[in-house]
């Protein structure tokens, strides 16, 4: 009797095993990078900013070097062109804040962008005058304006 019990138990296990195993959750997928990075938001303004980024990276490296002034002036022209174009646009964040705060946000952005463009004009004058120490300092100022501008006006949805 005891052994027939064991037989039945064994048989039950054998019969049930495939179903139990099938019910196991699938093994976790290997931890590889996702095939598609989530698509980031791009705007007319972010495209102009992208153009400024390359020029500014160069200026950070070479502003103090008088032998590079010709190229530095070419990079400044890029900042001037896209800085002026950026002034005419509104930050994406304007559409994220409550309607009541929108005008103030856009005005603040424009004010900061004007400050930026004025510093770019000073930078151009410094290179033209061969004042590289002043130019290097102005590049620092532009960097601070960039940081402040992004902190205040760049949406978290744009990276």
Per CB under 6 A, residues contacting ligand HEM are 42-43, 45-46, 49-50, 52-53, 56, 91-93, 109, 112-113, 116, 142, 145-146, 149-150, 153-155, 158-159
Structure tokens at 86: 């950026």
Minimal distance, residue 155 CB to ligand HEM, in Å:
6
CA angle, 80 as apex, 84 and 146 as ends, to 5°?
Answer: 80
Q: Please, which residues have CB within 8 angstroms of residue 55's CB and are 6 or more apart in sequence?
A: 75, 76, 78, 79
- Name which of 126 and 149 has its Cβ closer to ligand HEM: 149
- Name which of 46 and 132 has its Cβ closer to ligand HEM: 46
Minimal distance, residue 45 CB to ligand HEM, in Å:
4
Q: Please, which residues have CB within 8 angstroms of residue 27's CB and are 6 or more apart in sequence?
A: none
Minimal distance, residue 17 CB to ligand HEM, in Å:
54
Give the Å distances, CA to CA, from 125 to 22, 113, 119: 75, 19, 10
- Name which of 24 and 159 has its Cβ closer to ligand HEM: 159
């Amino acid at each position: 009797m005891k052994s027939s019990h064991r037989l039945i138990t064994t048989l039950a296990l054998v019969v049930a095993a495939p179903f139990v195993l099938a019910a196991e959750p699938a093994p976790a997928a290997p931890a590889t990078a996702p095939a598609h990075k989530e698509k980031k938001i791009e705007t007319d303004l972010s495209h102009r900013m992208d153009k400024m980024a390359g020029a500014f990276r160069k200026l950070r490296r070479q502003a103090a070097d008088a032998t590079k002034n010709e190229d530095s002036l070419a990079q400044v022209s890029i900042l001037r062109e896209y800085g002026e174009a950026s002034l005419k646009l509104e930050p994406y964040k304007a559409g994220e804040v409550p309607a009541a705060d929108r005008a103030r946000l856009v005005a603040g952005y424009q004010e900061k962008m004007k400050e930026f463009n004025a510093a770019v004009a000073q930078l151009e004058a410094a290179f033209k005058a061969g004042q590289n120490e002043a130019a290097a300092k102005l590049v620092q100022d532009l960097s601070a304006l960039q940081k402040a501008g992004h902190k205040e006006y760049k949406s978290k949805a744009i990276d």
